Amino acid sequence: MSGTAAMAPPGLPERLRDRYDRLLASAGFRQFAARFPLTRPLARRRVRALFDLCAGFVYTQTLLACVRLRVFEILRDGPQEHAALAARLGLSPEAAATLLKAAEALRLVDRRRGGRWGLGALGAALVDNPGVTAMVEHHALVYGDLADPVALLRRDRGGNRLSGYWPYAGAEAPAALPEERVAAYTALMAASQPFVAAEVLAACDFSRHRHLLDLGGGDGSFLRAVAARHPHLRLTLFDLPAVAARARDAFATAGLADRAEAFGGDFTHGPLPLGADIVSLVRIIHDHDDARALAILRAARRALPPGGTLLLAEPMSGTPGAEPITEAYFGFYLLAMGTGRPRRPEELAELLRGAGFTAPRLLSTRTPLLARVMVARAA
């Protein structure tokens, strides 16, 4: 960073903090802290936290093995004897023991009486949860790009496996993308959409609106969830043509064709459908760099009458308690994807004001690490 000469000298809290950091960095102090009874619990917690950081990949791969071998589906019907379970997994009893003991330590499975295995607290949450299992599989791709994190940080953005998976990221003409390039990501988004829709529906009162336009609405999973809760609402979806075609089919299959329409185009360029009094952008803005994000928000503003509502839902940077997810996970994910970044609520509010919206404010959400919700009014 340049300009350090002009910086004010550090105050007392900062000098104390520097001293503390130097103390922690000294091997002698760490040995003392591990021996001294009053500091020992803290030292142990720190060692454990560091070991967890080193071992995180192994934990992830334990989960991937369980998902691929369908451990949670097999255990859904009840606890299984070790030998019978090993046979169903196609593993030797010894290999099954390695996997199941690891999964037990991660609370994915649980040891029951008589040497049987049942679901653990976290494994139970994965049963009938296609959104999470699809994400676990998807991460094989993500971690491929992260295999050399320093190279990833040093390269120009783009050109990774993840940028191929999200082909609209940085594309010159995204509206020309054919069906086969949008199918995989649209299915992944649909699988994970129920969690997000539940958060948005709990946070936002759609009953005072009459017509919702969902920009980048994928296969319409979000709008179908809203439709089920708000039968009076008219629904319009806008996405890339190949994706909008999928949404149109899904609306017809769901018997919604009379009140839900889907249009294809590019939300940074083309005109958007008019008539809505609320526009939603669900997991959209974080995919785009500032210039494109602003273009999307300006298009949304033009699609609304003065006083209309903009609803933006996505994971946001600086979410208290979710920092490893928003800063480390989404930061690196979007870096590998090649465009966009997680933004703080203040940064989103500034973009919204720049696009012609006023009074941006966060609504309270039940699980902010999945998505936070911000609303603003068209000026």
Ligand X SMILES: C[S@@+](CC[C@H](N)C(=O)[O-])C[C@H]1O[C@@H](n2cnc3c(N)ncnc32)[C@H](O)[C@@H]1O
33 touches ligand X by CB under 6 A: no
Between 110 and 199, CB nearer to ligand X: 199
Given 243, 278, 322, 373, the residue binding ligand X (CB under 6 A): 243
Stretch that binds ligand X, among 24-32, 42-50, 70-78, 189-197 (CB under 6 A): 189-197
Minimum Å gap between C-beta 378 and ligand X is 20
CB of 317 to ligand X, least distance (A): 17
> By CB under 6 A, is residue 369 in contact with ligand X?
no
103/312 with CB nearer ligand X? 312
The answer to whether residue 189 forms part of the interface with ligand X (CB under 6 A) is yes
Query: What is the closest distance, in whole angstroms, from the C-beta atom of residue 119 to ligand X in the complex?
Result: 28
Q: Which residue number, 71 or 243, has a Cβ lying nearer to ligand X? A: 243
- The conformation of residue 174, written as its DSSP 8-state character, comes to G
Half-sphere exposure of 17 (CA within 13 A, CB side): 5
244 in Cβ contact with 264 (< 8 Å): yes
Q: Does 174 bind ligand X (CB under 6 A)?
A: yes
Q: Which of 110, 145, 199, 239 binds ligand X (CB under 6 A)?
A: 239
Interface with ligand X (CB under 6 A), residue from 62, 80, 163, 193 = 193
**Which of the residues 264 through 323 are near ligand X (CB under 6 A)?**
266-268, 282-284, 287
Task: Check if the beta carbon of residue 297 is closer than 8 Å to that of residue 355.
Answer: yes
Taking CB atoms within 8 Å and a gap of at least 24, the contacts of 70-78 are 71/99, 71/100, 71/103, 71/108, 71/109, 71/123, 72/108, 72/119, 72/123, 72/124, 72/126, 72/127, 73/127, 75/109, 75/117, 75/118, 75/119, 75/123, 76/119, 76/127, 76/128, 78/118
* Euclidean distance between CA atoms 351 and 364, whole angstroms: 20
Residue 218 binds ligand X, judged by CB under 6 A: yes
Pattern 122-161, ligand X, x by CB under 6 A: ----------------------------------------
DSSP string of 16-44, one letter each residue? HHHHHHHHHT-HHHHHHHHHSTTTHHHHH
Q: Is 110 in the site for ligand X (CB under 6 A)?
A: no
Decide whether 118 or 158 has the Cβ nearer to ligand X: 158
Q: 58, exposed or middle or buried, with CB in 10 Å at 0-12, 13-18, 19+?
A: exposed
Range in contact with ligand X (rule: CB under 6 A) among 77-85, 118-126, 215-223, 253-261: 215-223
199 scored as a contact of ligand X (CB under 6 A) = no
Residue nearest to ligand X (CB): 216
196 binds ligand X (CB under 6 A): yes
Of residues 196, 190, 258, 177, the one with CA closest to residue 219: 190
Q: Least distance (Å) from ligand X to the CB of residue 186?
A: 6
- Helical segments of the chain, H only: 12-24, 27-35, 40-68, 71-76, 82-89, 93-105, 121-124, 130-145, 149-154, 161-165, 179-203, 221-229, 241-253, 290-303, 323, 330-337, 345-354
Residues in contact with ligand X by the rule CB under 6 A: 168, 174, 182, 186, 189, 193, 196, 216-218, 222, 239-240, 243, 266-268, 282-284, 287
